[in-house]
Amino acid sequence: MKIGGKKQNAMPTQAVVASAAGVSQQTVSQALSGTGRISESVRRHVIEVANKLEYRPNKMALALRRNDHGTIGLIGLGDSNRSFVPNVLLQNLQASLLKIHKHLALVPVLPSEIDALKDNPGKLGIDGAFVNITRGDIRPLLNIFQSAGIPEIWINNKQKYNCVYPDDYGASFQITSFLTSRQYLGIGFVGYSRRPDRQVGENHYSVKDRYLGYRDAMAGAGIKATHFIIDEMTTDSLRSFLKMAQPSPVLLCYELNHALRVLLIAKTAGVKIPEELKIIYFHESPYWDKELDAMIRCLPIPNDKLAEAAIAMYENKNRTQAKNVRSVPVPYDSSYFKHVLTTRDYVDIVEGK
């Protein structure tokens, strides 16, 4: 029975049910949700009255109470380059969430909106928050969501709790150890920081971790580390390194752009690649150019596994209601390590041919 009067089509509220049943609105809420310490006779009476009135629960209110909107928010800063989600990671997040019947919503947050978001994170209508700030100060968004009971997972950021991130230190250590075990003993590292062993300014954690993994593996092998700053690298400095690093020189580059610049410097110096110098770099994927990929070899960042780890952490936090869980470093696929010393087509590698 819908309510008569001015709003002929209005559905009855819990307050109307409470008045008709002669009980409080709290008792109605408890009776309909199956909670609270009320007698079975009162519960049945309330349900009977609610049915007669054709009461229907407000779907949005139910979603707020149950934290079940069917959506996970991918939260980033909307006015800077401090939030970065590679396409591979984005695609895998979307595909993996569908398996648990959730959808991904992109939510850019401007600095002017942060205070309002702190006051009411629930207004976004999300069941969980994947927060992505890859550089600089993370405090503006730290703990905003989990303080409101919304599972908060940081992606591609390295903190003690609630983060999933590629294990760049482990990958750099392992690839350097792999190379030294194959008697490639003249290995240099190419980056852009003057103090790569420290966290400097707004640098991403990987700037430090990739260098430290390399440095520690070289120290473990009893070999001196050699660090190049890409902006200061010249044909002369490359030739000096090649003389020192014989018979098997390798340059491990922080990223693809560094590898391309090293390749250009090497070509200018008349160095044959990859015969006289191996160039290896970290990136989300190979360049997918057969000729170029044969000259510079990629260590793919495990963005597919990063997505899986983020969703596993969400499910764990949602199930246990834990505010803080240990961060998860996601390992690189070690099967790629052996291919840095070959010119094999990455299409064949991926397809397992």
Does residue 195 sit in the same domain as residue 323?
no
Which domain CATH number covers 154? 3.40.50.2300
Does residue 326 sit in the same domain as residue 346?
no
Look at residue 74 and tell me if it is in a domain: yes
Look at residue 62 and tell me if it is in a domain: no
Domain holding 46, by residue range, is 14-57
Q: With CA atoms as reference, report the closest residue to 12 among 45, 42, 51, 48.
A: 51
Render pLDDT for 55-80 as a digit per residue (tens, 0 to 9). Answer: 766 655 555 555 567 899 999 887 66
Q: Give the range with max mean pLDDT: 17-31, 111-125, 337-351.
A: 337-351
Q: Stretch 30-36: mean pLDDT, rounded?
A: 67
Does residue 143 sit in the same domain as residue 194?
no
Look at residue 9 and tell me if it is in a domain: no
Does residue 98 sit in the same domain as residue 151?
yes
Q: With CA atoms as reference, report the closest residue to 312 among 326, 298, 297.
A: 326
The whole-number pLDDT of residue 201 equals 65
Look at residue 112 and tell me if it is in a domain: yes
Say how many Å lie between the first and final Cα of the chain, rounded: 68
Q: Stretch 197-207: mean pLDDT, rounded?
A: 80
Does residue 321 sit in the same domain as residue 235?
no
Does residue 344 sit in the same domain as residue 233?
yes
The whole-number pLDDT of residue 4 equals 47
| Torsion-angle region of 100 (φ positive above 0: left; ψ -120 to 50: alpha; else: beta) | alpha
Does residue 173 sit in the same domain as residue 158?
no
For residue 104, list its beta bridge partners. 72
Does residue 76 sit in the same domain as residue 209?
no
Q: What is the pTM of this model?
A: 0.80
Q: Are strands 163-166 and 152-155 parallel, antiparallel or unpaired?
A: parallel
Q: Considering its fold, how many domains does the chain have in total?
A: 3
- H/E segment holding residue 140: none
Distance between CA atoms of residues 40 and 21, nearest Å:
14
The whole-number pLDDT of residue 15 equals 86
Render pLDDT for 99-136 as a digit per residue (tens, 0 to 9). Answer: 999 999 999 988 888 888 888 888 888 999 999 988 87
**pLDDT at residue 338 above 60?**
yes
Distance between CA atoms of residues 143 and 151, nearest Å:
10
Distance between CA atoms of residues 149 and 222, nearest Å:
50
Look at residue 1 and tell me if it is in a domain: no
